[in-house]
Amino acid sequence: MAIFQGAGVALITPMKENLDIHYEKLDELLEEQIAEGTDAIIICGTTGESATMSEQEHIDVIRFAIERVNHRIPVIAGTGSNCTATAVQLSQEAAKVGADGLLVVTPYYNKATQKGLIAHYKTIADAVATPIIMYNVPSRTGCALQPQTIADLVSGVENIVGVKEATGNISNVAQIMHLTDGNIELYSGNDDQIVPLLSLGGIGVISVLSNVAPRFVHDMVMNYLNGDVKTAAKMQLDCLPLYDALFCEVNPIPAKAAMNMMGKNVGSLRAPLTEMEDHNKEILKKVLTETCAGIVSA
């Protein structure tokens, strides 16, 4: 059985004025996501600013989310690192506190070879029994999992079960599904390509958009999976202006700005991320209040 089907939210991490983690607000966000139909919580991913957290904060946030969600929907913990030993440690700690799955990004900056990536993922998988979703996002990491490498890992390692595919290359996705015979849990990592990936055998999305429009993203995926392709395709096209606004600056800068505009008061960003540029804020505000007002959650 898949870790989840549908829309998983790549959840932001709310901050206090002093940039400590705002656990009370995080609790509110978790409850809102569950109430709006989100199918899984992805905690401490890129959107959650995990790269700026200490290892203790990282584990504390994962533990908090798992305790608050309390098995109502799956919680998938981001435990990737550019250091294999650190990724092993984070993965073991997340498994110990009850994560339903692990999202493990390719090691960034090091630019490992495919041989190195295979060794990296196998080492992590050998250290835990928890299902692992690989995260392929070379635009952020400078390191790409090739389709054959993905296929080899999924077929050869029992608890490596899927991939969050964020290359933006649909031909790559088709190759992955061909090489695995469809025996892989494929999730879109790009909110503008949810329906295209579902059409190739995907089972869901790990979504930034779900931070501001959880019900909409859930319904889009479920419409497709339930056979209403026409409605799902229309929803995919309808949300493109919002997607563009949410990615006009590096994620999660616009996502946090949007949530603050919506009155969710999630705070600022940790350095080196900075507040959104004023002209981009105006574009985002217009999209939220006019162009896509019917999509976002109040």
Report whether the peptide linkage leading into residue 196 is cis, meaning its omega lies within 30 degrees of zero. no
Burial zone of 23 (CB within 10 Å; 0-12 exposed, 13-18 middle, 19+ buried): middle
Examine the pLDDT at 149 and tell me if it is beyond 80.
yes
pLDDT greater than 70 at residue 75: yes
Residue 298 reports pLDDT greater than 90: no
Output the CA angle 84-110-79, nearest 5 degrees: 35
pLDDT at 172: 95
CATH architecture of 6-228: Alpha-Beta Barrel (3.20)
Residues 252-283: tens digit of each pLDDT: 999 999 999 999 999 999 999 999 999 999 99
How far is the C-alpha of 105 from the C-alpha of 139, rounded, in Å? 12
pLDDT, mean of residues 49-76: 97
> What is the residue extent of each domain of the chain?
6-228
Q: State the SS3 of 35-65.
A: HCCCCEEEECCCCCCHHHCCHHHHHHHHHHH
> Choosing from 121, 135, 187, 224, which is the catalytic residue?
135
Q: Is 118 helix (H, G, I), strand (E, B) or coil?
A: helix
Mean pLDDT of 80-89: 97
Determine the average pLDDT of the residues in 127-141. Answer: 96
pLDDT of residue 184: 98
Among candidate residues 164, 256, 264, 281, the one labeled active-site is 164
Rounded-to-integer distance, Cα 66 and Cα 297, Å: 24
Strands in the chain per DSSP E:
6-10, 40-43, 75-78, 101-105, 132-136, 160-165, 185-188, 204-207
Q: State yes or no: is 285 an active-site residue.
A: no
Cβ density class 122-160: b for 16+ within 10 Å, e for less: eebbebbebbbbbbbbbeebebbbebebbbbbbeebeeb
Residue 227: exposed, middle, or buried by beta-carbon count in 10 A (0-12, 13-18, 19+)?
Answer: exposed
The yes-or-no answer on residue 109 being catalytic is no
- Residues 198-246 have pLDDT tens digits of 999 999 999 999 999 999 999 999 999 999 999 999 999 999 999 999 9
| CB of 56 closer than 8 Å to CB of 26 | no
Quick one: pLDDT at residue 1?
83
Q: What is the pLDDT of residues 4-37, one digit of tens each?
A: 999 999 999 999 999 999 999 999 999 999 999 9
